[in-house]
Amino acid sequence: MMQMSSSSSNRAESDHSGVLGNVGQYLTFNSGGECYALGILAIKEIIEFGNITKIPMLPLFVRGVINLRGAVVPVIDLAARLYGEQLTAGRRTCVVIVELDTEDGKIELGVVVDAVNEVLELSAKDLAAAPNFGSRIRTDFIRQMARIQDRLVMILALERVLSVDEMAGLVALSQEKSASEQVA
């Protein structure tokens, strides 16, 4: 569908300002009826939704894995991860491929969203601190708030939303649960 220019991924290595949630370019998208933004430097590409291989006994937020040009990439359902409700695929549903830095090096993950909107430039005056309470999603998932055309949009703290350690723990839990459920 739409491929980020390779220069953006090159910049990801030299300049982290966008990822850190400061001034820079952001991608806005919808998930579960809410609008969110992500620093563009973490995003590698956006692909069509589909061809996902399911893996048994997983929590709702893991859709499965896809074959991304020979690499097996896990796909996370963002709505399920944020609110616990799995997204119903529609015409504009797509998978945002992001790259995360972890202790064991970079990993790629797919994130299913309802629709992607636009890429926009945010300056310091557009940004505000994250609220301490009152949001629908876990506050530590929000890095900052951005004012976009009189609307407040949450900029996601990707490394927390997609924390591999945390998600792997949840996968393990769900595995044990399904294994014991078989007995019941």
Partner 1 sequence: MLNMSELVAVFLTEARELVEQLERGVLALEKSPGEVTAEDINAMFRAAHTIKGSAGVVGLDHVVHFTHLVETAFEQLRSNKLVVDRSLSQLLLRCNDHIASLLHCAEVSAEPAANLLQAGDALLNQLRPLLQQSAQSSENDIASPSVGSAKQKSSCHVFLKLSASCFTDGLDPVILVRYLRQHAAVCREYWYAGQVQPLTQIAPAQAETCQLMLDLLMEDIAEATLLEALEFIRQDSLCAIFNHDSPVEAQQLFLDSLESPALAQELKQRWQALGLLKVPVEVSAGTTPSLLPRSETKAENKNQPRQIDQRMMRLPAYKLDTLVNQLGELLIATATLHEHSRQFNNSDLTERVQQVQQLVDDIQGSALQLRMVQIGETFNRFQRVVHDIAAELGKDVHLVIEGADAELDKSMVERISDPLMHLVRNAMDHGLESASERIAAGKSAHGSLLLRAYHDCGSIVIEIRDDGRGINRDKVRQKAISQGLISAGAELTLRQIDELIFEPGFSTADTVSNLSGRGVGMDVVRRNIEALRGTVDISSEPGAGTQFQLRLPLTLAIIDGFMVRVGQSRFVIPLDMVNECIELPADMALDTDAGYLNLRGEVLPFIFLNQMFGLGAAASDRRSIVVVRYGKQSAGLVVDQLLGEFQTVIKPLGKLFQFLQGISGSSILGSGDIALILDIPRLVQIHVQATERQRTTTTI
**Which residues of the chain form contacts with partner 1 (CB under 8 A)?**
51, 53-57, 62, 65-67, 70-72, 74, 102, 104, 107, 109, 164, 167-169, 171-172, 175-176, 178-180, 182-183
Q: DSSP character for 87? A: P
**Shortest distance in whole angstroms from residue 59 CB to partner 1:** 11
From CA 78, how far away is CA 85, in angstroms rounded?
9
Check: CB of residue 102 under 8 Å from CB of residue 82.
no
CB of 112 to partner 1, least distance (A): 15
Q: Which residues contact 50 (CB under 8 A, 6 or more apart)?
A: none
d(CA 115, CA 33): 10
Q: Which residues of 67-103 are buried (b: 16+ CB within 10 A; e: fewer)?
A: ebeeeebbbbbbbbbbbeeebeeeeebbbbbbbbeee
In whole angstroms, how close is the CB of 74 to partner 1 at the nearest point? 5
* Inter-CA distances, 172 with 66, 78, 91, 165, Å: 20, 19, 33, 11
Shortest distance in whole angstroms from residue 174 CB to partner 1: 9
Nearer to partner 1, 35 or 65 (CB): 65
Nearer to partner 1, 70 or 134 (CB): 70
Give the nearer residue to partner 1 in terms of CB position, either 69 or 91: 69
55 versus 152: smaller Cβ distance to partner 1: 55
Output the smallest distance, CB 65 to partner 1, in A: 6
Residue number, 22 or 174, with CB nearest to partner 1: 174
Following DSSP, what letter does each residue of 148-173 receive, concatenated? Answer: ETTEEEEEE-HHHHT-HHHHHHHHHH
